[in-house]
Homo-oligomer: A and B are copies of this chain.
């Protein structure tokens, strides 16, 4: 087993308590809302924040007693932290130099890495002459240039534009599969997480609330945060047979289930009606419109009432139904689009 971490960090108004393993070659994504403790966990792995409790084992070796500089790690920080007095090239060559590589050789390595991240033209630039995205790419190159066994990335793609992000993302994947080390990635972007990670660990308020393969997490979110992340509406209810009751509304579902249950459905599965539609009364409730906003090509309607629901409708539908905030409306969800699973 490559990385095994049990991390506990106690702060005056915050407490982190998480445990996870990462197999060799695997990428673990840490997801969580702002202030969940993702950066704290990463700092603990890097040896920059002392553990109050717990242990970190990498390739069978305990890292706990090792200072940062002796840990075989590479870190990309959330705000880059490029050395302001060194050129981009020397920033990247810094790591290899520290590992005993001769100057000329280290610079050659650095040049190769800068080329890989698409900054061959900016080797001589000082960090203050780089744009935000350029700086983050240099930081990425700097972390990768030490050929770490454990790569720690705090929002590595956040400042990259769509084009570059695609490129760097696939290069990152390629490089990761090359050296077979463990990677821990902090990101807010569900797409990044889905594409890059083999496993997700979702942290909220310092504790793990869900973990699993990206597809599983995406299909069966366990908290509202995860549900929003993967674009689903999520409710807690009580199931009896094929029926889940949530705050007085009965949802008919395809899954056979009993007891406390979670039920999830995408906003696009919600249909809106000006008057009560005929037909089966299940999965149907009355709501009022709290807000309307553009969402990609569609319109997202926020519904209040017994439960808060997001519904995605086409602009045409908005015009047809003449939707306005405050209006009362009927909403329903197709049973085939809802997914129910034990809470």
B-contacting residues of A (Cβ < 8 Å)? 32-39, 78-80, 130-134, 137, 154-155, 158-166, 170, 173, 188, 190-191, 194-195, 224-225, 228-229, 291, 293-296
Contacts and interface: CB of A to CB of B under 8 A. Distances in A.
Given A163-B229, A228-B163, A34 B170 contact: no
A155 B159 contact: yes
Contact of A191 (B39, B225, B229, B296): B296
A193 to B, nearest CB: 11
A113 to B, nearest CB: 17
Contacts of A39: 131-132
Contact of A195 (B158, B162, B294): B294
Q: How many copies does the complex hold?
A: 2
A161 B133 contact: no
A209 to B, nearest CB: 13
B293 A160 contact: no
24 contacts: A33-B133, A34-B131, A34-B159, A34-B160, A34-B161, A35-B131, A35-B134, A36-B131, A38-B131, A39-B131, A78-B132, A132-B155, A155-B159, A159-B188, A161-B188, A161-B225, A162-B228, A163-B225, A163-B228, A163-B229, A165-B188, A170-B293, A194-B296, A195-B294
A131 B40 CA distance: 9
Nearest to A32: B161
A132 B162 contact: no
A188 B162 contact: yes
A264 B293 CA distance: 27
